[in-house]
């Protein structure tokens, strides 16, 4: 197995484990309470950010909101990364088909470009 394939397989495995852990957490009652508090904090920030005069405090609120958003979307982020890694792995495993498809696409683009040369668009 090539180094790139090994890296993708390892990344898929790690992200699947992380996703499983996040889903277990999402079913946990205490975690649900924490998420509820985070959502309340995010709502507070959304409703009061415009009253903050201090630039440093405003940056802290912005950073806090980004961190909360990141935590709330962990499962979606892991799912997306798994999907992307699997697509990359599929390309590597079917490299001959990918090269042929890219070649067909490039030749079609060249033909299209040749056909349109000298065409008056006005």
Q: What is the chain written as a DSSP string?
A: --HHHHHHHHHHHHHHHHHHHHHHHHT-HHHHHHHHHHHHHHHHHHHHGGG---HHHHHHHHHHHHHHHHHHTHHHHHHHHHHHHHHHHHHHHTHHHHHHHHHHHHHHHHHHHHHHTT----
pLDDT above 80 for 108: no
Domain residue spans in the chain? 3-113
Model pLDDT for residues 45-101, shown as the tens digit of each residue:
999 999 999 999 999 999 999 999 999 999 999 999 999 999 999 988 887 665 555
Region 116-121: mean pLDDT is: 46
Global pTM exceeds 0.85:
no
pLDDT category at 121 given cuts 50, 70, 90 is: very low
């Amino acid at each position: 197995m090539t180094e790139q394939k090994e890296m993708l397989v390892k990344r898929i495995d790690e992200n699947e484990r992380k996703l499983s852990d996040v889903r277990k957490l999402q079913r946990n009652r205490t975690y649900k309470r924490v998420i509820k508090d985070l959502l309340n904090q995010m709502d507070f920030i959304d409703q009061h950010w415009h009253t903050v005069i201090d630039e440093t405090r405003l940056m802290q609120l912005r950073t806090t909101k980004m961190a909360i958003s990141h935590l709330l979307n962990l499962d979606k982020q892991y799912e997306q990364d798994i999907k992307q890694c699997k697509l990359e792995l599929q390309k590597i495993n079917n490299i001959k088909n990918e090269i042929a498809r890219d070649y067909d696409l490039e030749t079609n683009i060249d033909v299209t470009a040749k056909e349109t040369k000298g065409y008056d668009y006005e």
